Every structure is written in C-alpha cells, then in structure tokens.
Amino acid sequence: MAKVCSVLILLAVAVVGKALTPSTFLTTVDQQRLRSVFESAAPYVDLPSAHYSILGIKLLGGTMPSTQDTCKFLQSKVDAGSIESVYHASGAAAALGGCKFDVPSAKQLLTDAIAAKASVQDISFAFFAMKNLGIAVDEKSISAALLEALKSDDSPLSHGYAFMVASALKVDTSKFFDNIEDVIAQADEVDDKYVQFEGGLFVTGLVVDGAYKLAEKEKKAPTIAEDKVAKLANYFLSRKHVHQLKAASQFVSVIKTLTDNKFHIPIAVSLGSSVAVSQSEPVVKVRVTNLLGGDLGQLTVTADSARHLGDEAIVLSKKQFTPSSADKSQYELNFMEAKPARGFYRLTVSVAPKKADSRLIGITGAEVEVKVTTKVSVENVEIGVADKDQTVAARTTKLVHPNKAQNTLEADYHQKILMRFQLKDRLTGQLMAAHQTFVRLTNLKSKQEIIFVSEADGTLTNKFDLDVGASAKEFGYQSGKYSVELIVGDAIIENPFSWTLADAELTFPEGGAPKGDGQNQYSKKPEIKHMFREPEKRPPAPVSMTFTALVMLPLLILLLLWLKIGVNVSNFPFSVSAIGFHVCLAGIFGLYYLYWTQLNMFQTLRYLGILAVPTFLFGNRLLSGIASKRKSA
C-alpha cells in the first residue's frame, strides 16, 4: 500500500509540474516595452495616469519625468475635497522623490474618512495619503475601520487593499493574515493552468502582492498552495502585454514581489535555443530563471525524459544538462546523441539548486518542446503521358533532382499526365511522407497557375495523375504550354524545395470555355435578384365566377336566415374600439384579396404588419370592455 501511495504521489507531482511550471518570463524586451508604456503617458492629463506611470517607471528603473514640471502639475490638479485625488497626487509625489507637495486641508478630510464607516478602498487611499504627506496615523483605528468595512464588503478587491494597508501597519494584523487562505480560495481556475480573480489583472495582482507583503510583515508563509502560486504566475505572465497603466503598474509590482520574497519564488523554464534540432545544430538550450529573467544561482538541470509526440517513444532518460559558459542561466544538452527520429518531442525537465532553497516552485516536471528536423532527397522520379483507357503503355521519363526534362510533354484531353516519386529521410535512409506535397502547373503565357495535391500511398510512393479532359474546366479550357513544378515542405524538413520538372503542352476540348468574363473566376458576377415564381394560369372567367358564387352562397343563406329570424344588434358596442377593430379586420380580409389579385408576399407582409398593430390594440380594448360589462351585470 505504501508503494502504491508513493507512486501516486510521484505521478501527481509530475502532472502538476508538467502543467504548471511557467515556460516564459518577463524578458528585457518585455520590460523595455512596459517602460515605454509608462514613459509615453507623459505629459499627463490626470492624477491617476501620473501616479501609475511614475510608480511603474520607479519599479522598472526608467527615466523619470521632470520633477519640477510634474510637481506643478500635481499641485494644480489635486482636489483637496477628494480622498482619491489626494491619494493619487501624494502617491505620485512620493514615488517621484524630491517633490515638495502639500495639501494643507487634507488632514481633516483623511482623518474623517478613516473614522467614518467608509469603504475599504477609501480607508486604504486615506491611509497611504497620510503616510505620503507625513500626517500622523492612528494605526489601531485604521485596523478597526478596515475590519468593520470588510464585514460589509469582503470582495477580493477589498481584501487586496486591506492586505496592502495591513502590511504597512505596526499593530497586530493576524486577522488580516488569516483571511489570505479564504480569499485565495475564491479565485477562478482556468484550463487547469491559470488562477485569477474576477476583475482581471489588477485585482489578482493586488491580492497576491498584498498577501505576500503582509506575509513578510508577519514573518509567516502565506497559506497559498504551491500549485496555485504557479498557476497565478502563469496567469500574470499570460498578461505581460498589458497596456493599461493601472493594471501594468500592479503587474510589475506583483512580478517583482514573486521574484524576491522569503516564501515562494516560481521559476521559469523556457527554451533558450531554436525549437529545431538537427545534425548541424544538435544542442537544446534551456533557460532557468525567476519571473524577471534573473539568475537563480548554480543549478543542476536534468532532462528526466524526452517523449516523441507521435508514437510516445522515450529516447532519453535522466540526462543532465551542461551549464552554458556564455550565460549562467542557460543549460545545454546535445539532443542528437540520443539518435532521435524526426518529429516533435516533449522534454520533461527538473531543476535542483546546488544550495538548497525551499522557496523555489516548479522545479520538477517543467516542459519544453523541440522538433528534430531532417533533410530529404527525392528519388525514383518518373513523369510521363498515358492514354486514359490505358490501351497503350505510358511513356515516362526518369528524372534526377534538380534536373528538368529536356523534352516537352504533350497531352490532349484524351490523355493524362502521370508522376511518381519518393521522399527519403537522409538521416535514417527511410522513405517518408511530407505534409505539404503539391504539384503546380503554370501557364507560361498568361502566368495563371493551378495547384494540385499529391498524396502518398501505402508504400510511401507519391502519385499524381492529371486527367487533362476532366480538368479542363479548372484550367479555364486554356490550351498551351505549362510548367510542371513539384513543391515539397514540412515542419520537420530542413530543405523544402520547389523543383520544375518539365514543360507540358496541354490541349483541351474546343468550345467548352465560357465566354467573356466567365473565363475569370474572380471577375464581377451579375447581381442575384429574387425571382418570384410565375403565377399559374388562371381558369376561364365563367369558371371563376361560378366558383366565387358557390363560395359566397353560404354567406347569402346566413343573411337570409338572419332576416327571417331577426337579428339583435342592440348589444353591439358602438365604441371607437369596436368600430376600429371591425374596420381593421375588414382591411385584413381586403388585404388577402389584394394578395390574391395584385400583391406579392413581401408587399402583403409589410401592409399586414401595419394593420396588425391597430387591430391588436382595438381588439384588446374591445374584449376588456365586454368582460368588464359582463362582470358588472
């Protein structure tokens, strides 16, 4: 039983590592792009833009804007009656440094915000604004106000602000720290690889950043499972192309926190060389860094396995990478020493620091994908002409790449062009099939071309048969000389090629070609208009009149019977609704008659839609009146 448990645990660890270890990091190019996002926000138009821009530049070490001009801007834009305005202005001034910024009336505003039953965000803004302005803070009242505010709003965003404030307090903040586990449990998991909060990058970054900063203050590891930390890191890195200032500044902040804290540091294992491996370039390079691309010190990097994605064959096991002399974060492995077959491979990589570091996350089961490429040769090439009925043996010519047939092939619409060839893997000497094998015929005069697909049979022999007569329409019935070109390519072929094998004189049947613009499939086509079916021929007038009389006869009999027995019309409500309903109803019957004699379906529906509205309104009003009259009676 113990062995079974051990195996299951190892499998679980392998699966987690396989799915979760980040395969990318914030490269120097990414950092430069983010710096440009922050720097391009100047000249500033509002305080939040200035705050997040300056904060982002400070975090990434970019070029700060002019201190004097920015200070004047902050002082001119600040609204002394708005907590948020004071927070952004003071935060920007503090991040800028050397900016003498003051809001004389802010003390009362900020103190009142903390004392009153404010939101968590307002308490957070007020607290940090007071710290930025050097105003004394009653930290116990801050803590109590935050806990009270969280009772009415316990969203992840509010907890994120609360964690950030608690991390800066010197009083007991254990209650906030205990909330970390519950808040992280509210995060959504996507594709078993990402974890995020509703609200996106800013909310997720704020919660995680605040949780780790609070953990640093409490000197205790946050209660976040390592697999969730890895999934959070994957989510952040998937959003590294963010351009919105607020989210971008929080993104940079949380990435820096995850690269430098005392508890959890996710590692990134990424491919440091070309994805293609070949005899000429046999080395696979992997880069092992933190999320900012920083060196993690001396490591032992091992390729646990390399599995072919096609047949699942394992070509190597427990092969150690060699540290690169050019880059301390890169490690190299001569993959071709394992003599892998062509195709795609998934390398499972594990990392072990030579100096034990329990903070590292994702050290087992990291994955990188490479492809082993090969060069191909084309052999046993034959091209020729044969009769469709095969009464005469085909006349074929053998070719050697890259030579072209000296004689022009001649084929009319009673014949077909044949081509046979094989592709051989130069690495193994075996026959192979390529994903992209095309035959292109180009009219040497008009330069119009048509492309056919050549497919390999069970013996890996590629065959191409062109029935000239059956293909005449595809060629637009344009007889003439065509070049025959073989195009071969594949993701794992190093030397894809295009080879002109021969010229062919094709003769198509006369009189089959469409006239005028019909020969060009891309020419403007005539407009398609809806055609109503021609009405059927009506019977002679006497027959129609006789039929109409027979249809109207029951109505005539009804009227005669009403006259005989008497008709009580006193109950008819002579109201606007009653008259309007019956008039509209008569109009609908008249419309049916017009549809029968003059109108088409679309015209009838349009008029019926117009009549339907007043009919419904009058009918509803009439029925309501009758019902109320019966109740009162």
Please name every residue paired with 632 in a beta bridge, in sequence order, or none if there are none. none
Give the 3-state secondary structure of residue 168.
Answer: coil
* Predicted pLDDT of residue 13: 37
CA distance 496 to 238: 34
- Is pLDDT at 17 greater than 70 in this prediction? no
Contact 281, 287 (CB under 8 A): no
- Is pLDDT at 196 greater than 50 in this prediction? yes
pLDDT, average across residues 169-184: 93
| pLDDT-based confidence at residue 4 (cuts at 50, 70, 90) | very low
* Predicted pLDDT of residue 568: 67
Does residue 628 or residue 140 have the better pLDDT?
Answer: 140
- Is pLDDT at 7 greater than 80 in this prediction? no
- Is pLDDT at 513 greater than 60 in this prediction? no
Radius of gyration (Cα) for the chain, nearest Å?
A: 41
90-113 tens-digit pLDDT: 999 999 888 887 888 888 888 888
CA distance 199 to 557: 75
Mean predicted lDDT score pLDDT of the chain: 87
* Predicted pLDDT of residue 561: 85
pLDDT, average across residues 584-592: 89
CA distance 543 to 615: 35
Closest CA to 233 of 290, 182, 181, 180: 290
User: Averaging pLDDT over each range in 20-24, 48-52, 410-414, 618-622, which range is the top one?
Assistant: 48-52
278-328 tens-digit pLDDT: 988 999 999 999 999 998 989 999 999 999 998 888 999 999 999 998 888
449-477 tens-digit pLDDT: 999 999 898 899 999 999 998 888 888 88
Mark 275-307 as b/e (b = at least 16 C-beta within 10 Å).
Answer: eebbeeeebbbbbbbbbbbeebeebebbbbbbb
589-613 tens-digit pLDDT: 888 888 878 888 888 999 999 999 9
Residue 107 corresponds to which tokens in the numbers above?
A: 């003390």
* Predicted pLDDT of residue 429: 87
- Is pLDDT at 241 greater than 50 in this prediction? yes
**Dihedral sign, Cα of residue 432, residue 394, residue 485, residue 516:** negative
Mark 233-251 as b/e (b = at least 16 C-beta within 10 Å).
Answer: bbbbbebbebeebbbbbbb
| pLDDT-based confidence at residue 2 (cuts at 50, 70, 90) | very low
343-356 tens-digit pLDDT: 999 999 999 998 88
- Is pLDDT at 523 greater than 90 in this prediction? no
Please name every residue paired with 334 in a beta bridge, in sequence order, or none if there are none. 283
* Predicted pLDDT of residue 391: 64
CA distance 179 to 236: 22
- Is pLDDT at 37 greater than 90 in this prediction? yes
| pLDDT-based confidence at residue 115 (cuts at 50, 70, 90) | confident
| pLDDT-based confidence at residue 512 (cuts at 50, 70, 90) | low
How do beta strands 497-507 and 409-412 pair? parallel
pLDDT, average across residues 357-372: 92
| pLDDT-based confidence at residue 10 (cuts at 50, 70, 90) | very low
* Predicted pLDDT of residue 9: 34
What φ, ψ does residue 570 adopt, rounded to 5°?
-70, -25
CA distance 199 to 619: 51
| pLDDT-based confidence at residue 182 (cuts at 50, 70, 90) | very high
| pLDDT-based confidence at residue 566 (cuts at 50, 70, 90) | confident
* Predicted pLDDT of residue 252: 95
CA distance 532 to 23: 62
Residue 353 corresponds to which tokens in the numbers above?
A: 């620091």
CA distance 365 to 361: 11
Give the 3-state secondary structure of residue 491.
Answer: coil
The contacts found for 306-311 with CB under 8 angstroms, 24 or more apart, are 306/335, 306/338, 306/340, 306/345, 306/346, 306/347, 306/348, 307/345, 307/346, 307/348, 308/340, 308/341, 308/343, 308/344, 308/345, 309/343, 309/344, 309/345, 309/346, 309/369, 310/343, 310/344
| pLDDT-based confidence at residue 520 (cuts at 50, 70, 90) | low
* Predicted pLDDT of residue 436: 92
The contacts found for 304-307 with CB under 8 angstroms, 24 or more apart, are 304/348, 304/349, 304/350, 304/365, 305/347, 305/348, 306/335, 306/338, 306/340, 306/345, 306/346, 306/347, 306/348, 307/345, 307/346, 307/348
- Is pLDDT at 240 greater than 70 in this prediction? yes
- Is pLDDT at 563 greater than 90 in this prediction? no
| pLDDT-based confidence at residue 16 (cuts at 50, 70, 90) | very low
Does residue 110 or residue 254 have the better pLDDT?
Answer: 254
- Is pLDDT at 570 greater than 80 in this prediction? no
DSSP annotation of 460: S
